[in-house]
Structure 1
Amino acid sequence: MKRHYAEIVKEAGLRIPALLEKQCQDPESAHHGGLLTPERGYSEPGHSSGAIDSLLSVYLCPEAALEGDRGLLDSAELYADHLLNAQHEDGTIDLRETNFHDATMIGFCTQTLAFTLKLVQAHIDARPELATIESKIETFLRRGGEGMLTGGFHTPNHRWVLASALTLLWQQFDDERFRREAELYLAEGIDCTDQGEYTERSTGIYNVVNNRSLLIMAEILQRPELMDPVQRNLRMVLHYLEPDGSLFTAASRRQDRGRTSYPISYYPNFLGMAHQTRDPLFAGVADLILEQARAGRRSGDGLGAMLTQYLLSASLREVDLPMIAPEPTYTLYNPASGIVRQRHQQMSITLLEGATTFMYIAIGEVRLNLKIATTFYGDRGRFTPQELGGGVEDEWRLFEHKRWGFKRPFAEPPGTSDWDQMPHETRAEVQMRDLDLEVNVRWQPQESAVEVDYRSQGLEGVLYKLELAMSAGGQLQTDQLRLPCDAGQSAVLRGGGEVIYRLGSEAVRITGGSDEHNSTEAMRGSEPADVSAFTLYCTDVTPVEGTLRIERALS
């Protein structure tokens, strides 16, 4: 948008010093021309594509302070040499941290460099010095196209990366082989549910990758239906925004699971959809993301890398769109993914099916995560809800039935003394016992509170603990004491007690609890305590019936 353009130019310029400083200048080094960072100690070929794009977009931007600086063009050419030298005969490159002869890395590079090439070619008549870099980028893309025609993928999102990259090459080089290959991937169907969830459930990384890829294909192939899953996903993502502006990532199936992540990488997704659909909500979210970046709440990148898109689109540079802000109150229930998300202003709760950390609470920047464990036959005693349902009047139920006991000797010799080869499933079972664990959650948004009823039925005498892992560094306050709460420390909330936990400008009141035993961190079979958190325990013995109330308190 027009109001964002100056900020994008500024962000792009901020990237340049590091790209110049960290480029390996040693001609004797295997990393010559690549981006060499101290934390890695080696260069990733694919990183050169982003460097080339950043350098050239600033070089060609009339509003950039370094516009026309020959040092940027020289550096881009050296990065291109590094990329070409790293390219295998089959057209692929390596992702050295994990994959080799990787066609998908060519796909990611193409998603960037195909647009860089368009920008270069738009200026080459007036800037003949661009001829060398144009030739190098085109050579890399043509070779890479051959690698994608014969290469493959690992993960669901890779399909759309490859398909979109092939589509870009079809547009650039008018080679039907690229379009036919892209259609092979598209024929598999887009793995996005009606509620907008992709297979990998990756709020922090791969949602963005999927959306970017589908938007590229929707435009070039003139298939507007490919924007539908993008719209669904972006609307779903709004229900994953936490009160502090970060994203909920604990449900991800990929490496972003549980990582603190801000939605800066979604900026191109929301901006692109805003200009495609003129939806003021998408424009409003793009604006919100930019405000977050200004405030320093960012993870990864996504703004400076947008300069090429702005330079290629007069509409992005010159048009402002009407905007509305996303609602800070919502409810999302996605039974297919086993997740509930509810938020009201500065408090949110998340419930997860099939996860030992079954409940997440966010109050401002304070995080509170709930687990339950018992001594029911070792690690079988961990509460991992098999069922999540409800929703009537903001009440939810999580439930798990457990059954275990002992095995008898074989009635007949098993034919082997090798324990691992024995048919243990045929052994008779004895002394089988049942334990039902249930949690009922009552969300009370107008009171900024949630009540957690927990109970058990079945086997008696089983040690039980509920653990509440909280953001460390605060202070626990009771009528009698104030206790600093550092990472790795813990306390037990005694029956009927009340404590207030203060962290920064937030205060959380917790009432309820029980104190029937001291088996907390050391409980056999339970998961290790979170050493980065302060943990509050409630301990009991089955049969259990208790309530924990957690509410935002006036600080």
Structure 2
Amino acid sequence: METISRKSFLQQCLRAGALVSLSPAVVNAWYTRSTDDEFYQKIVLANNQDVAKLLKSLAPEITEVRRRSGYELANLVAAFCEPTSAYYQKEELVPYMTKIISFLVKAQHADGTLDFGNLASPPDTAFILEPLCAAGTILKTNNTASLNEVKALLKEFIFKAGEALRLGGVHTPNHRWVVSAALAKINSLFPNPAYVKRINEWLSEGVYCDKDGNYLERSMNYSAVIDRSLITIGRLLKMPSLFEPVRKNLRLVYYHSEPNGELVTVDSRRQDQYAPINILYFYHDFYYLAIQDNNPEFAAITKYIETLNGFDSRVLNDLLVYFLEDPLYKKPLPTPKAPSVNFEKFFPETNLVRIRRSDITTTIFGGTDFPIIIASGRSNSPNFFAYRKGEAILKYMRFSTDFFSTGYFHSQGITKSGNAYVLHQKIEAPYYQPLPAKFKRPDGNYKHAQSTDGRFWNKMDFEHRPQSNINTLETIIRVEEKNGSNELTFSSKGTDGVHVVIEFCFKEGGNLTGLKKLDTLSDSYTLESGQGEYSFGNNAIKFGPGIFKHAKLTGLEGELYSSHFGSLRTEGMHVFFTGITPFEHKITIG
């Protein structure tokens, strides 16, 4: 990664609002951060606070299996075994430990699986085993007599679950590595060649990571799962080669990170393509490899994550378990060296561009999975552009037409021309002639098939019909960074008279000036000419010139989504520019 000074990185993060409530100790930590007593005391205190809440929440009967149950038991065990904890060897914790593990043993099927997430699910059972095995590891060296029942029940549960994972199947790519990581943890507690054999069977399929650093699902949500799993397998089975795809993925994660820690997920093939997650989920992975590889940039990112909103409640409260399970966590981080916050990266595998200039970021997306299919495992987001300037956030831009109800523009890739990135889509919509005689059926019962343009299905045997009256629409969007702003040039032509809509969606809660509010749609505005401005906090985004040639603003999803009664409209402040083909318009955003 290209580097700048640590001080500059810190200052830029501060301007971006990424670092909150910074004390001098935290600022200095960029230069001297180690796993020192002060930070460890903070981890222990967070565990104490979590345990105090658990003692109240666990008072009623446990009625359902939750993934969190594993961490609840592990946090109680960590508190009991940590000498500096306020709950060190406090017998009051033991009944709660017993309560959790007793419930899980009762909920376990004869084959070792649990019902949560999915029914009788090996992979979901594997997820809960990560913290349960950590608890088992911490308890290995604790000989307190009162813990004997907890240890015996934990062993019973883990043994049965181990058989479920050794023999059971999976649904998705990441499940293979989750199951393998759980088996590696079980094997470290109760060595069994059969566990290792099963892990090697899964690994023999290959861990795919493309040259950009994407795993098969291209999902930040599941990348965090895979990274954690591969580190676990590599650590416990002495397979350091498994760390390499994690390194590649973590570099990708950094480039996909916004100044406030949110991650770009528009290119995902899973549910997070419409629900961004936070870099907080990768904390353990950056932390582990920063120490393992003596990587100063990963150390800086680790420290950056510690400053983000949500770190205390979503990461810190479970950290004591990891520090007690694996001694590596107690080693000092290398001296941080800040990664660049001034870069332009083109990821050709997903047709994604990320541009960052301190607290200003641009995302351009020109890739998707064709044909467009609405299903998990498919990338189908129509968001082709996003822009952030500090707290002012343009969540996305979309382009839609009423051309034969084809709906949103989905670029057929992305190319770079000079300093500009070019998005392109060409659609052909034919009419169909009578079937040739050799394909005609007297009963009229023809093959149920998709139309050749992919818009709909019917029993018309489309592939054998001659076509005529073919209509074409070709759309080109050029995006070029100029003088700190982005210039977007739109061209849509072919069939005349097609209604065109450019949709902006700004983060809700901001202020729009210079625009006209629409009565027909909630939180919707137009800009007929001139410049508009969106502001949030101390930051503002200017955009324009506006154009508004028609008010046809419904049905933007097209037939593909609307036939499933779906809508892609999200929360936010929506601004619409409209035109009619042949359409040419240039917009500056900055």
Calculate the TM-score normalised by the size of structure 2.
0.83
Tell whether the 8 Å contact from 1:374 to 1:462 is kept in structure 2 after alignment: yes
- Give 1:19 deviation, angstroms: 2.6
Amino acid at match of 1:70: E
- How many positions carry a matched residue from both structures? 522
- Give 1:542 deviation, angstroms: 0.9
Structure 2 CA distance, aligned partners of 1:62 and 1:462? 72
Cα 1:122–1:23 shift into 2, 3 Å: same
Tell whether the 8 Å contact from 2:174 to 2:226 is kept in structure 1 after alignment: yes
Give per-residue Cα distances to partners, 1:247-290, cap 9 Å, x unaligned. Answer: 12232222323324222221111111111111011111111111
Aligned: 1:202 with 2:219 = yes
Structure 2 CA distance, aligned partners of 1:341 and 1:19? 42
Amino acid at match of 1:534: M
Structure 2 equivalent of residue 21 of structure 1: 56
Cα 1:452–1:274 shift into 2, 3 Å: same
Structure 2 CA distance, aligned partners of 1:128 and 1:485? 71
Aligned: 1:240 with 2:247 = no
Cα 1:334–1:144 shift into 2, 3 Å: same
1:373-384 alignment, distance < 5 Å: 373-378=400-405, 380-384=406-410
Structure 2 CA distance, aligned partners of 1:477 and 1:401? 35
Structure 2 equivalent of residue 311 of structure 1: 324
Aligned: 1:328 with 2:341 = yes
Tell whether the 8 Å contact from 1:264 to 1:303 is kept in structure 2 after alignment: no
1:141-220 alignment, distance < 5 Å: 141-203=158-220, 205-220=221-236
- Give 1:110 deviation, angstroms: 2.4
- Give 1:403 deviation, angstroms: 0.6
Structure 2 equivalent of residue 112 of structure 1: 131
Structure 1 CA distance, aligned partners of 2:171 and 2:575? 41
1:454-493 alignment, distance < 5 Å: 454-478=490-514, 488-493=522-527
- Give 1:430 deviation, angstroms: 1.6
Tell whether the 8 Å contact from 1:508 to 1:550 is kept in structure 2 after alignment: yes
Structure 2 CA distance, aligned partners of 1:491 and 1:134? 62
1:235-274 alignment, distance < 5 Å: 235-274=251-290
- State the secondary structure of the residue aligned to 1:322: coil
Structure 1 CA distance, aligned partners of 2:519 and 2:248? 41
Structure 2 CA distance, aligned partners of 1:529 and 1:51? 37
Structure 2 equivalent of residue 362 of structure 1: 388
- Give 1:52 deviation, angstroms: 0.7
Structure 2 equivalent of residue 515 of structure 1: 548
Aligned: 1:423 with 2:461 = yes
Structure 2 equivalent of residue 38 of structure 1: none
Amino acid at match of 2:442: G
> Alpha carbon RMSD of aligned pairs, Å?
2.4
Structure 1 equivalent of residue 6 of structure 2: none
- State the secondary structure of the residue aligned to 1:284: helix
Cα 1:102–1:340 shift into 2, 3 Å: same
Structure 1 CA distance, aligned partners of 2:312 and 2:434? 57
Tell whether the 8 Å contact from 1:375 to 1:524 is kept in structure 2 after alignment: no
Tell whether the 8 Å contact from 1:436 to 1:457 is kept in structure 2 after alignment: yes
Cα 1:525–1:492 shift into 2, 3 Å: same
- Give 1:438 deviation, angstroms: 0.4
**From 73, 87, 102, the counterpart of 1:81:** 102
Tell whether the 8 Å contact from 2:524 to 2:573 is kept in structure 1 after alignment: yes
Structure 1 CA distance, aligned partners of 2:417 and 2:44? 46
- State the secondary structure of the residue aligned to 1:373: strand
Aligned: 1:541 with 2:577 = no
Structure 2 CA distance, aligned partners of 1:314 and 1:299? 22
- Give 1:523 deviation, angstroms: 5.6
Single out whichever of 458-467 and 306-315 deviates more from structure 2: 306-315
Tell whether the 8 Å contact from 2:401 to 2:499 is kept in structure 1 after alignment: yes
Aligned: 1:280 with 2:316 = no
Cα 1:464–1:89 shift into 2, 3 Å: same
Cα 1:539–1:94 shift into 2, 3 Å: same
1:115-126 alignment, distance < 5 Å: 115-124=134-143
Structure 1 equivalent of residue 150 of structure 2: 133
1:367-446 alignment, distance < 5 Å: 367-368=393-394, 369-378=396-405, 380-390=406-416, 392-393=418-419, 395-412=420-437, 413-418=440-445, 420-444=458-482
Tell whether the 8 Å contact from 1:475 to 1:482 is kept in structure 2 after alignment: no
Structure 2 CA distance, aligned partners of 1:532 and 1:212? 32
- State the secondary structure of the residue aligned to 2:314: coil
Cα 1:507–1:483 shift into 2, 3 Å: farther
- State the secondary structure of the residue aligned to 2:263: coil
Kindly indicate whether structure 1 or structure 2 has the higher relative contact order, using CA contacts under 8 Å at least 6 residues apart.
2
Tell whether the 8 Å contact from 1:473 to 1:486 is kept in structure 2 after alignment: no
Structure 2 CA distance, aligned partners of 1:416 and 1:280? 73
Amino acid at match of 1:193: D
- State the secondary structure of the residue aligned to 1:438: strand
Structure 2 CA distance, aligned partners of 1:11 and 1:166? 29
Cα 1:160–1:22 shift into 2, 3 Å: same
Cα 1:482–1:494 shift into 2, 3 Å: closer
Structure 1 CA distance, aligned partners of 2:232 and 2:568? 44
Calculate the TM-score normalised by the size of structure 1.
0.88
- Give 1:522 deviation, angstroms: 5.5
Q: Percent identity?
A: 25
- State the secondary structure of the residue aligned to 1:2: coil
Give the gaps of 5 or more residues in structure 1: 27-33, 35-41
Cα 1:425–1:233 shift into 2, 3 Å: same
- Give 1:428 deviation, angstroms: 2.2
Tell whether the 8 Å contact from 1:45 to 1:86 is kept in structure 2 after alignment: no
Structure 2 equivalent of residue 225 of structure 1: 241
Cα 1:207–1:522 shift into 2, 3 Å: closer
Amino acid at match of 2:484: S
- Give 1:176 deviation, angstroms: 0.6
- Give 1:45 deviation, angstroms: 4.6
Give per-residue Cα distances to partners, 1:84-106, cap 9 Å, x unaligned. Answer: 011111111122x4x11111123
Tell whether the 8 Å contact from 2:219 to 2:268 is kept in structure 1 after alignment: yes
Give the gaps of 5 or more residues in structure 2: 1-33, 369-380, 447-457, 562-566
Structure 2 CA distance, aligned partners of 1:484 and 1:71? 61
Tell whether the 8 Å contact from 2:136 to 2:189 is kept in structure 1 after alignment: no
- Give 1:65 deviation, angstroms: 2.2
Tell whether the 8 Å contact from 2:290 to 2:333 is kept in structure 1 after alignment: no
Tell whether the 8 Å contact from 1:406 to 1:429 is kept in structure 2 after alignment: yes
- Give 1:366 deviation, angstroms: 2.9
- Give 1:190 deviation, angstroms: 0.5
- Give 1:192 deviation, angstroms: 1.1
Give per-residue Cα distances to partners, 1:431-465, cap 9 Å, x unaligned. Answer: 10111100000023xx4311111102311221111
Structure 2 equivalent of residue 37 of structure 1: none
Give per-residue Cα distances to partners, 1:31-81, cap 9 Å, x unaligned. Answer: xxx3xxxxxxx6225432121101111122222222233222211111000
Tell whether the 8 Å contact from 2:259 to 2:359 is kept in structure 1 after alignment: yes
Give per-residue Cα distances to partners, 1:300-342, cap 9 Å, x unaligned. Answer: 8333222122124455335343112332222221211221111
Structure 2 CA distance, aligned partners of 1:408 and 1:482? 47
Structure 2 CA distance, aligned partners of 1:157 and 1:475? 41
Structure 1 CA distance, aligned partners of 2:586 and 2:227? 42
- Give 1:476 deviation, angstroms: 1.8
Amino acid at match of 1:102: S
